[in-house]
A = this chain, B = another copy of it.
Amino acid sequence: MESEETPARWEGLPSWLLSQTAHHAHRLVSDGFSSVGARGYHYRLLATLEESGPASQAALGRRSGIHLSDMVATINELADRELVERAPDPSDRRRNIISLTSAGKRQLRRLEKRLAECQDELLAPLSPEERQRLAELLSRLRDHHDRRTRIPEEPGR
Contacts and interface: CB of A to CB of B under 8 A. Distances in A.
Interface stretch (A67-75, A76-84, A96-104, A114-122): A114-122
A133 to B, nearest CB: 7
Chain A's interface size range is: 35 or more
Contact of A138 (B21, B28, B62, B124): B21
Contact of A144 (B2, B19, B124, B142): B124
25 contacts: A2-B52, A4-B63, A10-B47, A13-B119, A14-B25, A14-B122, A14-B131, A14-B138, A15-B26, A15-B115, A15-B122, A17-B139, A17-B142, A18-B21, A18-B22, A19-B22, A20-B138, A22-B23, A24-B149, A27-B149, A125-B143, A125-B144, A133-B133, A134-B137, A137-B137
